[in-house]
Structures are given as structure tokens and as C-alpha cells.
Amino acid sequence: MTEPQINPIQSADVPPADQATPLTTIYQVSGWQIFWRNFLAGFSRAFGSLILYFVVFFVIAGIANYYLMPYLKPLVGTLSQTFETLNQLSPQRGQDLVNPIMEKPALQNILNQTK
């Protein structure tokens, strides 16, 4: 007697979710399904690129910080000191500089007469 050949995986043994479904073509789906899949693919690609750009930027910034900051630190210190000096020399907001010519009494008299 010959035994019947048994398929190791029969359709009765496979759950319905894991069974192969017939393939659908682009002509069998709706326009919204096509739009959604393309939108999702484009969004995923853009998001992945953005993450990669951030990683590359932080790596380059870390390397530049490690190697360039010892040379730039004295320059930044001098520049900040210069700005502090300029802020001390300039008048405060709301205060006008008085022109020294306007302080002369003769000019004040002329200006008062024209009013």
C-alpha cells in the first residue's frame, strides 16, 4: 500500500490571518489607497533624512567644538570684552546725547526767542 502524500502545511492548519491572499494590482485599489501609501513612503523617507541630518550635524559640531574651541576661546573673550566696553560708552536707552553747541547760553536765547 502506498501512503498518500501529506503536505506539511495544509490550509486547515494555517490561521486565516497568515494565509496567502491574492495579490492586488494598482488597477484594483482605490485612489486613496495609492495616495496613502505614497504619502506614507514619502513621509518616512523625509523623516529618516531629517534624523540623519541631525546626527551628521551633531557629529560635525562635536568635532569642531573639540578641535576649534581652544583657538576660538581667546577671540570670543576679546570680542565679548569689546562689546561690554562699547555698551558702557554708549548712552542708556531713553537718554539723548546733548549736543555741546546747544548748551551755550547765546544759542539758547536765540532758540527761546523764536518760540
Query: What would the pLDDT profile of 20-75 be if each residue is shown by its tens digit?
Result: 566 778 788 888 989 999 999 999 999 999 999 999 999 999 999 899 888 888 88
**DSSP letter assigned to residue 10:** -
Q: What pTM did the predictor assign?
A: 0.44
Share above pLDDT 70 across residues of the chain, in percent, rounded to a whole number: 58
pLDDT (0 to 100) of residue 92? 61
- Mean residue pLDDT of the chain comes to 77
What is residue 84's predicted lDDT score, i.e. its pLDDT?
A: 85
Number of H helices, E strands in the chain: 2, 0
**What length does the chain have?**
115
pLDDT at 9: 52
Q: Which residues contact 26 (CB under 8 A, 6 or more apart)?
A: 34
CA neighbor of 24 nearest in space, from 14, 15, 34: 34
C-alpha cell at 12: 486547515
